[in-house]
Chains A and B, each alone.
Chain A
C-alpha cells in the first residue's frame, strides 16, 4: 500500500501550467528522487504535497487519507515534513533552540505553558541525539544565522527530522554546497533512509547523489512527467538523455 499517492495533480499560475497532470506513488521505506531542469515544476510539485499550495486539479492521498486541501500544519501532524530549496531556519536562535521547537511540537507540547522535569529531560535528550546524529553538537549554542551554508542546511534537515516524520520531503538539500559538504549530506540522508527506513522524496540536481541514493527516479520537464523508473532504467532512457541528463549520466 502506497504511503503517498499523488494522482494527476496540476497547478496553474495564470497562463503558466507549472505542474501538469503528474502522478506518483511512493511506497513505505522508499527513497524517491525527483529530477528535471530548472523551472520544470519540481518545487511546485513539493508545494502541492506539503500544502504550501493547493492543486488546481488532482488529488493527494497520504496514508489513505485525502489531504489535497488540508492545512500545512495538519499535514505535519499526519507525518509529512519538508525542507525548502532556500534554507528556512530560525536565524537568530541557536542550533539547540532551532531543534527544540520541532521536538516539542512532535511531543505534543506546542500549547504547553510548562513542562514537567521529566518531559524537559526527554526533550533535551532528543535534541542532543539529533545534534549528535548530524555533527552539529559542537555548534549547539551558536546562532544558526552565523553558521556555514552547509551547517544551516543540515540544521534544517534535522529540524524536519525532529518532527519524527513518516515522509520527508527534501528540496535540493545539497544546493550551493562544496564536494565535502555534499558528501556529508548525502551520507546523512542515506543513513536516515537505511537505518530508520524513513520514506524520503528528494529533489536533487547532483546526479552523483541521485544515482547513489535513489530507489526510483521521476523526471519532470516543463511541468509534465517525462519518465519514471529505477536509476538503471532512467540512465538508459533515451528521451531523458536527450532532454536532460546529457553527459551527467554517461
Chain B
C-alpha cells in the first residue's frame, strides 16, 4: 500500500472505531447519547453536501430543502399513513430524492454563485410550503403527535423509542450504508468523472463527459443522502418544523463541510462534530453562540483552507 492509501485506510479504521464505541465513551467526557446521534446525523448531511461540493466542485446552498423533505417525509408518513420507522425513512428518502431529481435539470447549467443562489431560491419554496400548509404540516408549530416506532425484525423488536443507545446504533447502520455507497460511487468510473469535472470542467467536457448530465446525477445522489439524514433527524427529535428546510440550515451544512475539510472524505463529519459540540456548549453560555461558530469558521477558512482535517493530515504527513 502506498503512504496516501495507508493514511486513508488508517483514518477510516479510526473513524469507525470511534463511531462504534461512541455511546460508551461519550458520557465519560460529558456528552450524552443524543449528542452522539446528532453528530452522526448532521455528519451524514454534511458528507452528502460534500459529495457535491468537495468531489464534483459544485456548491449547493439549498440542501436543507431535501434534508427537510426527508424529515417531513418520515414525519408525515408515520403520522398519517403507516406507523413504521422503516417505511418512513424510505418514504422521506424517496420524496427528497425525487424532488432533487426534478429540480436538477433546471439548475445544472448554472455555475458558481448562480448555482448557489438558485438552490437557495428553490429551497425557500419548500420552506414556505411547509410554513403555510398548516393543516397538514402544522406550519410554524411544526409537525407533532408522532414519534419513531419500534423496529420489528420478526424474531425480535428493537425499542428505539425509549432506548437512546439502540436508536444511536440504528442511525449508525443507516449512516454506514449511505457513507459506504458514497465511497463506492467515488471510487467508480462515474465517480472519477465527477472528480474530473471538479478539477477542470473544460477538460472533462472535451474528454467526452457531458458535464451537465453528470452534475445532475451527482446532485440527485447528494439530495438522496441528505434526505436520508433529514429523515433520521426528524426521528431523533420526534418532531419536524420548517427550520429544517430553512436556508440557514443549508448554511450550517456548508460550514460543517468547509470547517472539517471538504477535500477529505471524513472532513465534514469532523466539521459536524465540532459544530454540534460548539453549539451544545456555547448555546448554554451565550445567546450569540452562532457568532463564535462564525468567527471560528472564518479563522479556519482564512488560515487553514483545507479544514481541520487538513491540518491533522499535514501533521501526520510531516
Q: Nearest-CB distance from A55 to chain B (Å)?
A: 18
- Mark A53-81 against chain B: 1 for CB-CB distance below 8 A, else 0: 00000000000000000011110110001
CA separation between A105 and B200, bound complex, in Å?
16
Inside 8 A of A89's CB, which chain B residues have their CB?
A: 200, 203
Q: With A113-B190, A114-B188 as given contacts, are A163 and B203 in contact (CB-CB < 8 Å)?
A: no
One of A72, A106, A111, A113 near B206 (C-beta < 8 A): A72
Q: Are A101 and B200 in contact (CB under 8 A)?
A: no
Inside 8 A of A105's CB, which chain B residues have their CB?
A: 193, 207-209
Q: With A93-B195, A100-B192, A101-B193 as given contacts, are A76 and B200 in contact (CB-CB < 8 Å)?
A: no
Q: Are A90 and B208 in contact (CB under 8 A)?
A: no
Inside 8 A of B193's CB, which chain A residues have their CB?
A: 101, 104-105, 110
Size category, B interface: 20 to 34
Q: Are B200 and A88 in contact (CB under 8 A)?
A: yes
CA separation between A141 and B188, bound complex, in Å?
19
Q: With A91-B200, A92-B199 as given contacts, are A76 and B207 in contact (CB-CB < 8 Å)?
A: yes
Q: Is A48 an interface residue (CB 8 A)?
A: no
Inside 8 A of A81's CB, which chain B residues have their CB?
A: 206-207
In the complex, residue of chain B having the shortest beta-carbon distance to the beta carbon of A50:
B206
Q: Are B203 and A90 in contact (CB under 8 A)?
A: yes
Q: In residues 135-153 of chain A, which contact B (Cβ within 8 Å)? A: 141
Q: Is B196 an interface residue (CB 8 A)?
A: yes
Q: Are B207 and A141 in contact (CB under 8 A)?
A: no
Q: Is B151 an interface residue (CB 8 A)?
A: no
Inside 8 A of B217's CB, which chain A residues have their CB?
A: 111
Q: Is B155 an interface residue (CB 8 A)?
A: no
In the complex, residue of chain A having the shortest beta-carbon distance to the beta carbon of B210:
A73
Q: Is B202 an interface residue (CB 8 A)?
A: yes
Q: With A110-B190, A115-B188, A115-B189 as given contacts, are A101 and B206 in contact (CB-CB < 8 Å)?
A: no
- Mark B176-213 against chain A: 1 for CB-CB distance below 8 A, else 0: 00000000110011101101100110111111111100
One of A52, A76, A84, A114 near B208 (C-beta < 8 A): A76
Q: With A89-B203, A90-B203, A113-B184 as given contacts, are A97 and B208 in contact (CB-CB < 8 Å)?
A: no
**B184, B203, B214, B217 pick with most chain A CB within 10 angstroms:** B203
One of A91, A92, A101, A112 near B188 (C-beta < 8 A): A112
Q: Are B192 and A82 in contact (CB under 8 A)?
A: no
Q: Is A109 an interface residue (CB 8 A)?
A: yes
Q: Is A41 an interface residue (CB 8 A)?
A: no
Q: With A88-B203, A91-B199, A91-B200 as given contacts, are A102 and B188 in contact (CB-CB < 8 Å)?
A: no
Interface of B is mostly: helix
One of A90, A97, A111, A141 near B190 (C-beta < 8 A): A111
Inside 8 A of A159's CB, which chain B residues have their CB?
A: 203, 207
In the complex, residue of chain B having the shortest beta-carbon distance to the beta carbon of A115:
B189
Q: Nearest-CB distance from A81 to chain B (Å)?
A: 7
Q: Are A109 and B189 in contact (CB under 8 A)?
A: yes
Q: Is B2 an interface residue (CB 8 A)?
A: yes
CA separation between A214 and B127, bound complex, in Å?
63
In the complex, residue of chain A having the shortest beta-carbon distance to the beta carbon of B187:
A114
**A90, A141, A159, A163 pick with most chain B CB within 10 angstroms:** A90
Inside 8 A of B195's CB, which chain A residues have their CB?
A: 90, 93
CA separation between A236 and B307, bound complex, in Å?
62
Q: Are A77 and B189 in contact (CB under 8 A)?
A: no
Inside 8 A of B214's CB, which chain A residues have their CB?
A: 110
CA separation between A82 and B205, bound complex, in Å?
11
Inside 8 A of B199's CB, which chain A residues have their CB?
A: 90-93
Q: Are A104 and B203 in contact (CB under 8 A)?
A: no
Q: With A88-B200, A90-B200 as given contacts, are A72 and B189 in contact (CB-CB < 8 Å)?
A: no
CA separation between A91 and B196, bound complex, in Å?
10
Q: Are A71 and B210 in contact (CB under 8 A)?
A: yes
CA separation between A115 and B187, bound complex, in Å?
10
One of A72, A101, A113, A141 near B2 (C-beta < 8 A): A141
Inside 8 A of B2's CB, which chain A residues have their CB?
A: 141
CA separation between A101 and B192, bound complex, in Å?
7
Q: With A105-B193, A113-B185 as given contacts, are A88 and B208 in contact (CB-CB < 8 Å)?
A: no
Inside 8 A of A92's CB, which chain B residues have their CB?
A: 199
Question: Could you write out 15 A-B pairs with CB less than 8 Å apart?
Answer: A50-B206, A52-B206, A74-B210, A81-B207, A84-B203, A84-B206, A89-B203, A90-B199, A90-B200, A93-B195, A93-B196, A93-B199, A101-B209, A106-B208, A113-B188
Name 6 extra pairs, CB < 8 A, besides A73-B209, A90-B199, A90-B200: A89-B203, A101-B204, A110-B209, A112-B190, A113-B184, A163-B207
Question: What 3 A-B pairs are tightest by C-beta distance, nearest first?
Answer: A76-B208, A90-B199, A109-B189
